[in-house]
Amino acid sequence: MTDFKRKRVVITGVGAITPIGNTPAQYWEGLVSGHNGIGEITLFDTSGHDCRIAGEVKNFDPHDYLDRKEAKRMDRFSQFGVSAAIQALTDAQLVINELNAEQVGVMIGTGIGGIKVLEDQQKIYLSRGPDRCSPFMIPMMIPNMAAGLTAIHTGAKGPNSCSVTACAAGSNAIGEAFRLIQGGYAQAMICGGTEAAITPLSIAGFTAARTLSLRNDDPSHASRPFDRDRNGFVMGEGAGILILEELQHALSRGIRIYAEIVGYGMTCDAYHITSPVPGGEGAARAIQLALKDGGLTPEQVTYINAHGTSTSVNDPTETAAMKKALGEHAYKVAISSTKSMTGHLLGGSGGIEAVATALAISNHQIPPTINLENPDPECDLDYVPNFSRVLDVEVALSNSFGFGGHNVTLAFKKYLW
C-alpha cells in the first residue's frame, strides 16, 4: 500500500473495565493517582496455591450492559469485552444502523479466552458425565466470541476477527483494525483486548512456569516493573476497547478526537516459546517498524507505555530494545508501565494500555510506574517513578510482547488537522 492512498485513522471513543476502575474516567483517575489494583484473589479458593494474589476487576455487574439471559451465556472475558465496547461506542456517540452497519467492524483479541467455562465444564464432565455438559460450553469458551458477541450486540456487520497472540493480542487487534480503515475496508472499528484468566488452572499453570510473583504477604507492592526487587508478574483481568474511525468520517460527525493512530509494527523473535531474544532485537524492530509506518523519527517520541511486566527477563530486555530502537533519545523519553497498577491482563493488556496511551495524549499527563523504589541497574531509563507527570505528549508508543516471540508496537500522535 502506498502512502498517498492511506486514510488517516483517529480514536473517537474508549472503554475500560480494569482492576482500578470500571469506566474510562475511573481507570484514568486510578492511573494518574497511582492507585494499586492488586490484592488477594477472591474469585476462587486459593488453598494449596503458591500464588494467591491478582488484579481482579471489582464490583463489575454485567447486567449494567447486558440482559440476564445474554450475560449468562457469556464467559467473563466476553462480558468484559462486550461491556467495554458498549462504553466505547457510547463515548464516541457512534450509532450503528442499517445505513452504516457493513462499514463498522470488530477486532477484539484475547490470549486465553473462556478458560473459566472450560474448567467448570470439565468438572461437570468428570463428576456427572458427558451428557451433562452445557450446550453453550463451546460458544462460551472459544476466543473469537468476544468479537462475535460484540457484533451481535451492536449490529456491526463489517470485518470481524480475533487475534490470539498471547500478551500481544490486544495490540495486534488494534493494529489490524487500523490497517483495515487505512485501506478503506471499514469506516470504523471496535477494537482492543479482553481477558478473564484468574482461575485455578490458569494461576496454577503460570505459577508452574515460574512467571508469577509470590509476594502474597504484600500484594500492593508485588507488581514492580523495572525494580530490582521484582519477582514475577501479577495476573490481571479486564478489557480495553477503542473506537477507531477514518478521519473524514469522524470529522463529518463533529466528534471529539482523542488522538491519531499512525503506526503499527509487528515482528517475531523466532527464538523461544516464552523468553524474548537476548538484547531485544525483535522488540526493537517492532518499535522501528511502527515509527517508519507512521513517518516518525525516534527524536519525536515523547512517551512510551511499556510492556513492563515486572519480570527479570522482560524488563531489561525491553529496556535494551528501546535503547536499540531510539538510540540516545531513549534517555529523554518518559516511559511507564501501567501494569504496576493493573497487573498483567495478558491478551487484554494491549487494549487497556492503548486506552491509557490515548488518554495520556489527550490529557497531557503521564501515568507513573508505581513501586519503583530500587531501580534495576540494567533498567536505567526514565520510568516516571511513583508519581504522574504533566507533559505535553506529541508522539507516544505502546509496546506489547507475547509468549511465542510476538512483538507489537503501536504509534500514536496528538491529532492535528
CATH number at residue 36: 3.40.47.10
Active site residue 167: yes
304 CA to centre of own chain: 14
Evaluate if residue 173 carries a pLDDT over 80.
Answer: yes
In a shared domain, residues 249 and 315: no
Does residue 242 contact residue 371 with C-beta atoms inside 8 Å?
no
Q: Which residue has the cell 513517518?
A: 295
| Domain stops at, among 221, 253, 285 | 253
User: Is the same domain home to 248 and 268?
Assistant: no
Let me know if 35 is a catalytic residue.
Answer: no
Asked, for residue 404, whether it belongs to a domain, the answer is yes
For residue range 222-264, what is the model confidence (pLDDT) as tens digits?
A: 999 999 999 999 999 999 999 999 999 999 999 999 999 999 9
Q: What pLDDT score does 5 carry?
A: 81
Residue 271: strand, helix, or coil: coil
pTM of the model: 0.97
Examine residue 417 and state whether it is found in any structural domain, yes or no.
no
Co-location of 209 and 144 in the same domain: yes
Assess whether 307 carries a catalytic annotation.
yes
Flag whether pLDDT at 265 surpasses 80: yes
Given 153, 221, 307, 406, the catalytic residue: 307
Determine the average pLDDT of the residues in 60-89: 97
The answer on 297 and 249 residing in a single domain is no
Question: CA-to-CA distance for 277 and 313, rounded, in angstroms?
Answer: 10
Question: Catalytic one among 51, 167, 191, 379?
Answer: 167
- Quick one: pLDDT at residue 4? 55
Number of domains in the chain: 2
Q: Does residue 166 share a domain with residue 122?
A: yes
| Beta carbons of 78 and 98 less than 8 angstroms apart | no
Set 191, 344, 379, 406: catalytic member: 344
Range of the domain at 204: 3-253
Q: Same domain, yes or no, for 93 and 169? A: yes
What Å distances lie between residue 178 and 39, 160, 162, 308, 357, CA to CA? Answer: 35, 13, 14, 24, 16
Same domain, 179 and 247: yes
CB count within 10 Å of CB 152 equals 13
In one-letter notation, the amino acid at residue 386 is N
Do 287 and 160 reside in the same domain of the chain?
A: no
Q: What is the dihedral of CA 176, 77, 34, 323, to 10 degrees?
A: -30
∠227-229-235 over CA atoms, to 5°?
80
Shared-domain flag, residues 312 and 202: no
Angle at the Cα of 353 (from 373 to 322), degrees rounded to 5?
A: 65
Q: What is the CA radius of gyration of the chain?
A: 20
DSSP assignment of 87-151 equals HHHHHHT----TTTGGGEEEEEE-SS-SHHHHHHHHHHHHHH-GGGS-TTHHHHHSTTHHHHHHH
Q: How many Cβ atoms from other residues are within 10 Å of residue 390's Cβ?
A: 9
